[in-house]
Structure 1
Amino acid sequence: MDGAAIMEQLMSPAGRADPYPLYELARGLGPVVPSGRGLAMAVGYREVHQALRNPDLGVVDAEQRERWEESYAEHPSQLLLSRSILETNAPHHHRMRSLIASVFTARRTAALAEPVTTAVHRLLDEMAEQGADGSPVDFMDAFAYRLPVGVICELLGVPEADRARFRPLAADLAAALEPVADESELAAADEAAEELTQYFARLAARRRADPQQDLVSALVEVAAADPSRLCGHELLANLVLLLGAGFETTTNLLGNGLARLFEHPGTLAAVRAGTVTPSGLTDEVLRHDSPVQLTVRVATTDGVRVGDEEIPRDGGVFLLIGAANRDPLRYPDPARFDPTRQDSQPLSFGGGPHFCLGAGLARLESAIALPALLDRFPALAPAPGATRRDRLVLRGFQTLPVTLR
């Protein structure tokens, strides 16, 4: 197959279920492969790493969307994302991101270690009760979703009673991130975007009237003081983004990590014995089965090159993060799951100006959660019925049943 055929297969149900064989087919054609008119895909670690940091490659923003798909603004989901830092370029991206980063700080993240530990053990207690009779427990629903959504909602200031509603809404909205989504998926994404926007509009109004010590209050204060720095619709778009990004990636990281450990019982035993570090385990899960598999960049000038391939102005390149993380030129025996690797540096959180703001929080949650889970349940085992989400960009499980004894 040529590059265009490989990309087409990646977007099929079979390709979404297991993209890794297709990544290797692409790698056989080179580190950067033409994949259609004005398009290319990058699978090499060095090429993806450099492209993520190339100032002449931007994200697909509102201007690009209007050029490629005039009807995009008719979809509330796509319009919402185009107003967030996820889909804006300089100078608007820096203006918004610097404000969000000023309140979503590394210091605030580090201070969460104790609350995250408390939340982990509370959820493990609930899992133990749920599976006390030997019946399977869905790890994704009982733990992998509830831990990160609880943490990000606590940071944002979302009341606990409202949190259960967010998983299906965020899952529906995520369809707007896919390279190809059918009309029914986009319709569900649009409904989710409108509901989430209305929710945060109400929450922001409450915080204006009665500020609290949370991120919503902090960002509302910034927007009120100088709307030119963060206008109303940008505020709401970024609050929705912080919510979704705050748990989607971590939920997938936890599920993918546990599934990999079940497939490698020797590694699972090493984690229990403490001979594998929590950070090493997290890095290897991110590398071996990345929660984010691809992102897209667009050439903003003439003469942009990714590897040896020239990308024409307004041309796009698919950066296949999941493939780059298994590049044999960067990682010896890349298909082997090995949490003892040194200097791993997977590309799963992106790079450059769009490096994930929540990377530190996701790493913290994973490093605490997975060892605690294995320590609490020595007989933890997979149960039948695991299902993958039908997504290419955000790779993870829909269900992952386990037995506890």
Structure 2
Amino acid sequence: MDLKVLLAEEGRTDPPAFYARLHRAGAAQAVDGAEQGFAVAVYGFEAAGQVLKDSRFHQLDAAYLDLHNPQWRRHQALEVLRDSMFFTDGPAHDGVRQLIGRTFTARRVAAMADAVTASTHRLLDRLDELSRGGPVDFMGEFAYLLPSSVMADALGVPQEDLAWFRPRVLAIGAILELDGATWKNMVRANTAARELTAYFTDLVALRRSDPRDDLISHLAATDLSDRQLVANLITTFNAGFVTTTHLLGNGLTMLLERPALRVALDQGNATSYVEEMVRFEPPVQILVRYAPEAAEIEGVPCRPGEAVLVMIGAANRDPRRFTDPDAFDPARPDPGSLSFGFGPHYCLGAALSRLEGEIAFPALFERFPDLALAAPLSRQPKPLILRGHDTLPVLCHGR
């Protein structure tokens, strides 16, 4: 597989066309050009799921960076990421995940429904007010604010700080792209990591002196080191809303391009709509793992220390798993996807993300039945790891 094709304008603009060509060549293949940093691409649905649950394949942890980038500790953004559960495996991952997972159990998420509904309608009021002056950016004024507001309440982050967070979250997200670790991006990410570390260090100290019923207070009372605690708060907060932000933005464009499906959407079928949205255009298109020891994927060898691209976006369109995979069909007989991952790193916030989509989309079109894009969708290339819109100007027409 030539990764350069995917990273080029054509691949970034229309990755499904690239994925379709891959599926004609099996479920996995070697990546051309060792200089690209990846040895194997896996894109078949079953094969991708197998890699994600297989303990032989690890996150790109500190050991991986020691092997491939010995100077990585000079970058605070990389240190923050590697100190978190998102880039560790085994006991170091499982213990922290168990602590944080208590906030996102099925019972707790279900109990958040009223708060999500209230936040949704508050932001719809805001859209209504802002749109009286013309187009309004759906991404900035709704898709970001809804999930970040919900996560802020869960963690204990003050709502008035959300605007401060967004550019710093985007800066760290930029270095997660396949070709995103440029010098310019790393400088910005390191600055963001320093500022976020200082912010959460102060907030942890505040919660220790004045505990509340929030995740920061609960974690501050555990035996996690301050370094672990702050790193996991930064990454959990970021991960807790970034994917949902893109689910809301991507899902809106899917519905606006399909008026009949938009009209048919209601609270009764919202679950199937959201499932199909994340399958059709997953907010995270690619995950990366590596093999500390020699391994094999669908007959393709992977040598010790080599990285594997797990292509979620392609796996979700595998014709061996899905009927007519390139069709957006909320009523499809074969639902399901790998969009929230699989195995030990399955997304902790998956249930909350689904809940937010299931509440937001019906409410959005009930409030603005004639909601429309203010301009044609841009055909500019988009990121591949965190795939979504930076801005999305819309015209809101309420009842």
Q: Same fold (TM over 0.5)?
A: yes
Aligned to 1:352: 343
Letter aligned with residue 305 of structure 1:
E
Letter aligned with residue 152 of structure 1:
M
- Secondary structure of 1:297 counterpart: strand
Is 1:394–2:386 an aligned residue pair?
Answer: yes
CA distance in 2, matches of 1:389, 1:175: 14
Aligned to 2:198: 198
Aligned to 1:179: 178
CA distance in 1, matches of 2:358, 2:65: 38
Asked if the contact 1:104–1:215 (Cα under 8 Å) also holds between the matched residues in 2, the reply is no
CA distance in 1, matches of 2:376, 2:203: 38
> Normalised by the size of structure 2, how large is the TM-score?
0.94
**Greater Cα shift, 142-151 or 87-96:** 87-96
CA distance in 1, matches of 2:173, 2:139: 17
CA distance in 2, matches of 1:342, 1:278: 16
Aligned to 2:208: 208
Aligned to 2:113: 113
CA distance in 2, matches of 1:219, 1:346: 32
Letter aligned with residue 159 of structure 2:
E
Which one of the candidate residues 334, 341, 347 is aligned to 2:332? 341
Aligned to 2:136: 137
Letter aligned with residue 72 of structure 1:
W
Asked if the contact 1:386–1:397 (Cα under 8 Å) also holds between the matched residues in 2, the reply is no
Asked if the contact 1:389–1:395 (Cα under 8 Å) also holds between the matched residues in 2, the reply is no
Which one of the candidate residues 288, 295, 302 is aligned to 1:296? 288
Map Cα deviations across residues 35-88 of structure 1 (whole Å, 9 max, x no partner). 044711011111111111111111110110110111211111111101111111
> Normalised by the size of structure 1, how large is the TM-score?
0.93
Is 1:33–2:32 an aligned residue pair?
Answer: no
Aligned to 1:77: 77
Letter aligned with residue 155 of structure 1:
A
- Secondary structure of 2:90 counterpart: coil
Map Cα deviations across residues 209-257 of structure 1 (whole Å, 9 max, x no partner). 11111000000011xxx3xxx2211111100011101110000000000
Aligned to 1:154: 153
Gaps of 5+ in 2: none
CA distance in 2, matches of 1:381, 1:315: 46
Is 1:324–2:318 an aligned residue pair?
Answer: no
Asked if the contact 1:120–1:369 (Cα under 8 Å) also holds between the matched residues in 2, the reply is yes
Distance change (3 Å), C-alpha of 1:126 and 1:46: same
Letter aligned with residue 145 of structure 1:
Y
Deviation at residue 94 of structure 1 after TM alignment: 1.2
Which one of the candidate residues 262, 271, 282 is aligned to 2:274? 282
Q: How many residues align?
A: 391
Letter aligned with residue 247 of structure 1:
F
Asked if the contact 2:104–2:352 (Cα under 8 Å) also holds between the matched residues in 1, the reply is no
CA distance in 1, matches of 2:86, 2:382: 22
Aligned to 1:123: 123
Aligned to 2:305: 314
Is 1:239–2:233 an aligned residue pair?
Answer: yes
Aligned to 1:404: 396
Deviation at residue 9 of structure 1 after TM alignment: 2.4
CA distance in 1, matches of 2:103, 2:352: 14
RMSD (Å), alpha carbons: 1.6
Asked if the contact 1:295–1:319 (Cα under 8 Å) also holds between the matched residues in 2, the reply is yes
* Structure 1 runs (4+) greater than 3 angstroms displaced: 385-390
- Secondary structure of 1:55 counterpart: coil
Deviation at residue 13 of structure 1 after TM alignment: 4.5
CA distance in 2, matches of 1:185, 1:16: 19
Is 1:50–2:50 an aligned residue pair?
Answer: yes
Gaps of 5+ in 1: none
Letter aligned with residue 347 of structure 2:
C
- Secondary structure of 1:298 counterpart: strand
CA distance in 1, matches of 2:259, 2:376: 20
Letter aligned with residue 233 of structure 1:
R
Deviation at residue 392 of structure 1 after TM alignment: 1.4
CA distance in 1, matches of 2:246, 2:201: 28
Deviation at residue 279 of structure 1 after TM alignment: 0.8
Distance change (3 Å), C-alpha of 1:298 and 1:15: same
CA distance in 1, matches of 2:190, 2:299: 39
CA distance in 1, matches of 2:96, 2:319: 37
Deviation at residue 98 of structure 1 after TM alignment: 1.7
Deviation at residue 378 of structure 1 after TM alignment: 1.2
Aligned to 2:7: 11
- Secondary structure of 2:308 counterpart: strand
Letter aligned with residue 279 of structure 1:
T
- Secondary structure of 1:41 counterpart: strand
**Greater Cα shift, 100-109 or 338-347:** 100-109
Which one of the candidate residues 257, 268, 273 is aligned to 2:262? 268
Deviation at residue 390 of structure 1 after TM alignment: 4.0
Letter aligned with residue 235 of structure 1:
L
CA distance in 2, matches of 1:97, 1:191: 27
Letter aligned with residue 316 of structure 1:
A
CA distance in 1, matches of 2:159, 2:88: 31
Deviation at residue 25 of structure 1 after TM alignment: 2.5
**Greater Cα shift, 387-396 or 189-198:** 387-396
Aligned to 1:254: 248
Deviation at residue 91 of structure 1 after TM alignment: 2.4
